[in-house]
Amino acid sequence: MLLQERIYSLTLTIVLVSVGAAIAFPQTFPTFGNLSQVLLNLSIDTIVAVGMMLLLISGVFDLSVGSVVAFSGGIAAYVMIVLGWPVPLALLAALLGAGLVGIINGYLIAYQGINPMIQTLAMMGIVRGGALLISGTGIQNLPYWFNAIGQAKLLGLQMPVWYMLLTVAVFAFLGNRSVFFRRYYYIGGNERAADLSGIRVQRMKLYGFLITSLLAGMAGILLASRLGTALPTAGRGLELRVITAVILGGASLSGGQGKIVGALLGALFMGLVSNVMILARVSGYWQEIILGLILISAIWGDMLLRRRAT
């Protein structure tokens, strides 16, 4: 019930922000070009947010996802430009690299007991360093068919938007219907009870980090394809934006709560706020401050709601 209230309240907030922005900026905000750009800009964050929602439901999180975005894009570009691999093999190599990061995180956290924040924070630096080693100052002139993955359009929207909607739809369906994904709610609600009931908690956590890293790898491929360049700085700050969006969307830092559609709504709210600040010509420094305040407010609000529920 509490989760449904948060979903409804966030949806209402998005509507109110949109109406207010349309009134304040009638010539620029309510246009197809602007709104499609908003969706395009939030598509990468949303794809990663789906994985982060899954982790937060189980009671953990991953701070290395932004670095994985840069790392996977760099791998794809490197093997295509430097090694001459075809696009399909480059995509596979990028996803394998991202998946390896997820397996390492999952194994050390689930089986060796390392704190998720410490492990993923350390991995964030390691993987970012790997992205810098691979991409240098950036790898350009990527093949046409690779760029087409992120630059092609369908019904006026660039393909990352459709990949985002497909990802949300698939994981929302699995979250509601699949026994496998429902286990994450039991783990986040009471890990000890889940273990005693026969759920292989350690294995499920490893799978959670693997899925999240693969989604971040997919996002990195789409970003490099969309820009036509693999940048080692890609994804900086993405992890905090994603965590903010997921908490706004109904997840809780204590686990056991959240819906995949909430990840989309949270990212949409963040995207709209960023777009309004750009239209209002708010300084980039103030934008960072405002987004940080939104994160604090989201965590504080989550604490208040949980206290009220108990």
pLDDT of res. 104: 96
Average pLDDT value for residue range 57-79:
93
pTM of structure: 0.91
Average pLDDT value for residue range 248-277:
86
Cβ atoms of 117 and 63 closer than 8 Å: yes
pLDDT digits (tens, 9 = 90+) for 153-199: 888 899 999 999 999 999 999 988 888 888 998 898 888 888 888 88
- Hey, where are the domains in the chain? 2-309
Better-scored residue on pLDDT, 100 or 25: 100
pLDDT of res. 136: 83
Instruction: Kindly report the backbone phi and psi dihedral angles of residue 282, in degrees, each rounded to the nearest multiple of 5, phi listed first.
Output: -75, 140
pLDDT of res. 94: 96
Percentage of the chain lying above the pLDDT 90 cut: 45
pLDDT of res. 3: 56
CA 63 to chain centre: 11
Checking if the pLDDT of 304 tops 80, the result is no
Nearest to 239 by CA among 76, 59, 17, 70: 70
Q: Which residues pair with 154 in a beta bridge?
A: 157
Average pLDDT value for residue range 7-35:
86
Helix (H, G, I), strand (E, B) or coil at 143: coil
Average pLDDT value for residue range 133-140:
87
Average pLDDT value for residue range 228-255:
86
Better-scored residue on pLDDT, 290 or 209: 209
Q: Mention the CATH class of domain 2-309.
A: mainly alpha
Average pLDDT value for residue range 212-216:
96
The token duo for 125 is: 């630096």
Better-scored residue on pLDDT, 213 or 301: 213
Cα–Cα distance between 150 and 224 in angstroms, integer? 8
pLDDT of res. 4: 58
Cα–Cα distance between 230 and 214 in angstroms, integer? 17
pLDDT of res. 296: 79
pLDDT digits (tens, 9 = 90+) for 26-45: 888 888 999 999 999 999 99
